[in-house]
Structure 1
Amino acid sequence: MYKEKELWDRFLGGDEVAYAQILKQYSDRMFGYGCRMCSDEDLVKDCIQEIFLTLWNNKANLSSTDSITWYLLKCTKTSIIREQKKWLKNEELADEYFFDVEFDIETKIIADLDNLKVADKIKSIINQLPPRQKEILYLRFYENFTLTEIAKLMDISSQSVYNLLQKAYKNFRAEWLPLVAVLFKFLSV
């Protein structure tokens, strides 16, 4: 298995095996991210297919990257937004778009505490957050992106990412405090 930069550079050099590995290794992640932005799975699949076709056809003109994940998620987001605009020619796309997220921590809490109500509450809290805040939490904690990478991916400033992340934390904490009390009560039994 190659490191991301080496894998990408091999692909840029025309290595079909590296291209196939990138497709295999990253397409599911792109699909998962795309489906969080757009509920039309067929549109997401078409976008991903077009991305990989474009990548192969334009590999000679592409730059090196240290993060294939970041690059491909950025391509996914850009492609979905562009395609949605084509499909909705006369409709204006809202700045606050759909973004659905389900964090693995929910599953861990269910397994650790065997308490579905707690996991449902966490999911409910997350789903009450505005779409951009959910997206930032997803990118920060699921994809492990830096604030700078998130800013570039979302086409906003690093300060805006920081501000939205702080708002998400604040919103989550406001709803979380009553849940923590329930957890302590549950754990002390």
Structure 2
Amino acid sequence: MYIQVIQGTCHEEATLKRQLDRWHEDLAPGADGWLGWTCGTTDADLFVGVIRFESREAAQRNSDRPEQGDWWEETSGCFDGEVTFHDCDDVIVLLDGGSDDAGFVQVVQGQIENAQRLRDLMSRPMDELREMRPEIIGGTVAVNDDGWFNQTFAFRSEDEARRGEGQEMPAEQQREWESMMSQVSDMTYLDLHRPWFASAGS
């Protein structure tokens, strides 16, 4: 799987949502290799779009379509200033990978010195996490070549997510987590209270 993360300050959320709905209806049928997206805006009007494709090549084929260029030219007017794109070939699916029925999504971003530590931790069996935090439906971890990462966690509801945050990790997991976090800088938490989802074939 390949993930592209798109971010920018959005001053026209309703218009952007309509544009995404139009893409899903009109352009998605011709976007071979597109798998879906998790999108939304934070309380500070920052749009975050986590777009999933089968591969980087599939994403590039979509970008090269003239209709995609026309759509983006219209859609870019919803943003204030620069829109950033992060391309991640290194993707890990967590638990059930999320759900289009999730009621709350938290996006965690940062820069890690040793990306392999993050890959190793997130690639382990998640039985304990599933038992301890049943409100986490699943998510994805995407890392690009310079160690920038984007973690997306889908929850059944925000209330359940907040209650789960207060639980303590088992001692061994806590030590591993603290060791990894010592290598992370510029950690940012982005809450999507009204997430937008779409999946291929839906």
Report if TM-score (shorter chain) is over 0.5.
no
Q: Which has the higher contact order (CA 8 A, sep 6+)?
A: 2
Query: Which structure dedicates a bigger proportion of its chain to helix?
Result: 1
More strand by share: 2
Name the larger-Rg structure.
1
